[in-house]
Structure 1
Amino acid sequence: MDDLDLIRDRAEAVGFAPAEHLAPARERLLAAARGDRPHRSRRWFWAAGASIGLAAAITAVVALAPAEQVGIGVGVANADPVRVLTEAAGAALEEPAKAPRPDQFLYVRTENPHHHIREVWLSVDGTRDGLIGDTEVTGCRDGKAPYSGPYDPAKKGTLEDCRPSPAYQADLPTTADAMLAYLDALPGTKDGDVSSMGKKVFMLAYERALTPASYAALFQAAAKVPGLKALDHVTDGAGRPGVGITWSFPPGSAPGAKPIVLVFDAGTHQFLGTDDSAVTVKTFVDEAGQRP
């Protein structure tokens, strides 16, 4: 392995500091080397030990720079999951709070690592017909909707009882404890199953719209879930870098089960999606099929 290989391997592991921070760090490193060794040792340091010195210099420059000055972003190295989610809650509170009209649609565009694009148009109040791709999603009007169960010729064209499923949920809790209780009460929760809690957080953050206060409460509630893990240097489904937050599967889970990894931008702390599906557009439009 030559000098360039050492530099490349070390740089990929720890990242680079910005150029304006390199010079002071380099001078401190050189001053320490000059002050701690006699003339002969200094010459050996740069001649016989050049490869080791170069790799060490890269590490020292990064280590001397504060985390927020390193090119890998705030909180990426040794990320604290509670801090990441708390900062995500703060970022959510800064989002515009204007509510959509009941007759509008939530448009969400997502992308996976294979560049497959998914588009959905979901009724804001749940009463209008939306779209998932090219497939119509019927709304629930006056407590009735066209039958949509398993194929049954006898039920074709009949109506069934329903409840609207609004894409915009303005009535969700706005405090962490109340949101945690709300999530616990949703179907599918098992005692101690933090993975199912993670899925519920994902469900609300992904293809649903909440008020900024409820989004903040959602991430604050997630921060209270035990067993959180932060993953460094992950990318979302569109390849955007960020910090990952995940939960462990409970004992007895199916072999090969893959936990959800929620991805947050390392700089802005905004929710980006997951490691296999990125939310690239989320907004409100006037008609199903309309793009912003």
Structure 2
Amino acid sequence: MNEDERVELVRLLPPPARPELSADRHRLLRGHLMSELREQPVRVRRGRPGRVVVPALAGGLALALVLTGGGSASGPDRSQAPQATQAPQAQPSAGSAPLNAAPVAAVRLLNQAADAADRAQDTTPRGDQFVYVKSVQTYPSTDEATGEATKGTPQNREIWRSVDGSRWGLLVMDGQRRPTGQDLKDPHARPDEPAPHPLGGGWLEPTPGNTGPSGYAYAAALPTDPDQLLAKLKADTKGQGPGPDQEAFATIGDILREQLVPSPVRAALYRAAARIPGVTVVDEVTDAVGRQGVAVARLDSGGVVETQWIFDRSSFEFLGERTVAVKDDGSWRKGEVTGQTTILGRAVVDQVGDRP
């Protein structure tokens, strides 16, 4: 066969089929990609104020390789074979953000926080002890006459929660004692409510079993597999809130905010949050006491308020949570902080009223 005949035969043959990757190979390559992303530091390119913009080229190409099953180095050489005609690729519209920019940054930050939690050394409390959390909170109040929201003022907050839920807890806000059931002559008040505590504040009823997100037993019993954890949170909150994704995000925040969460569960919570669609990164965030940090955020279903979890830039410690208006809406202007909780300390103590 001469050269002309060979070329003509090649032209008539169909192009070689592209090798398809098995499902296991897809998962392996995707896992390798995500590991590389976790190991890379967050690099910030200044774009719009307050947002992290991450170049998408490397991640986008790698994901394209994994998802399309592109050939490996050992695949057939098609450099001399005719290529199938490909439809032109759609181009992003002018001004659009790079594909994967915010999701990749959010996954990276949450995985860094999870890795830091994995390295943390825990103190496991006894059932007869209390989890103590000190914070500064600012939340709006509503004028009963007009129904309008008014901006709150910062308040120091201390809370003692029973580890096993069998004992009375205590909540103290700026040393003020809030009315209890007995003060209000509530006929449904428990007759065994303790006498007022010397620190003031109000008593928190025992919660045997600690079955809610604010209980230590609930947090300690959560799965450490992120997928199983996210599935449980969605099952536990089914039918609540604006939707399963937003409710799962809010519930993770509830667990992290005023509880002592074992480090394996804390790491799983961060990795579970990285699997929730719509989570983004906000750079250069300042908490209520002036600490600089970086946040992951998610917009609520109404598109008015964004919930942000603030982390220390170096240690990736959870510093607190805040909500920010993303548009003008009656009482709030775009960019205003509508509420926040800044964590100042956590500890395990033996008695209600004990401080570390």
CA distance in structure 2 between the aligned counterparts of 1:106 and 1:87, rounded to whole angstroms = 26
Query: Normalising to structure 2: TM-score of the pair?
Result: 0.52
Query: Normalising to structure 1: TM-score of the pair?
Result: 0.62
Cα-to-partner distance string for 1:141-162 (whole Å, 9 max, x where unaligned): xxxxxx89x9643666389996
Q: Counterpart in 2 of 1:89? A: 114
Q: Counterpart in 2 of 1:153? A: 187
Q: Counterpart in 2 of 1:23? A: none
Q: Counterpart in 2 of 1:130? A: 169
The answer as to whether partners of 1:194 and 1:247 remain within 8 angstroms in 2 is: no
Aligned pairs for 1:97-176 (under 5 A) are 97-112=122-137, 114-133=153-172, 152-153=186-187, 157=191, 163-165=208-210, 166-168=215-217, 169-176=219-226
Question: Given residue 122 of structure 2, which amino acid in structure 1 is its aligned partner?
Answer: A
CA distance in structure 2 between the aligned counterparts of 1:174 and 1:94, rounded to whole angstroms = 15
Alpha-carbon distance, 1:214 to partner: 0.5
More helix by share: 1
Aligned residues, how many?
209
Structure 2 gaps, min length 5: 1-40, 46-50, 55-104, 139-152, 194-204, 323-339
Structure 1 gaps, min length 5: 1-65, 71-75, 138-146
Further displaced range: 162-171 or 193-202: 162-171
- The alignment's C-alpha RMSD in Å is 3.4
The answer as to whether partners of 2:44 and 2:52 remain within 8 angstroms in 1 is: no
Q: Counterpart in 2 of 1:242? A: 293
Alpha-carbon distance, 1:192 to partner: 4.6
Aligned pairs for 1:1-292 (under 5 A) are 77-78=52-53, 80-112=105-137, 114-133=153-172, 152-153=186-187, 157=191, 163-165=208-210, 166-168=215-217, 169-187=219-237, 189=240, 192-250=243-301, 253=302, 257-275=304-322, 276-292=340-356
Alpha-carbon distance, 1:248 to partner: 1.7
CA distance in structure 2 between the aligned counterparts of 1:154 and 1:98, rounded to whole angstroms = 38
Alpha-carbon distance, 1:193 to partner: 4.6
Percent identity between matched residues is 32
Q: Using a 3 Å threshold, how does the CA distance of structure 1 residues 217 and 136 change in structure 2: closer, same or farther?
A: farther
The answer as to whether partners of 1:198 and 1:246 remain within 8 angstroms in 2 is: no
3-state SS of 1:96 partner: coil
CA distance in structure 2 between the aligned counterparts of 1:178 and 1:243, rounded to whole angstroms = 27
Relative contact order, higher structure (CA 8 A, sep 6+): 1
Q: Quick check: which has more Rg, 1 or 2? A: 2
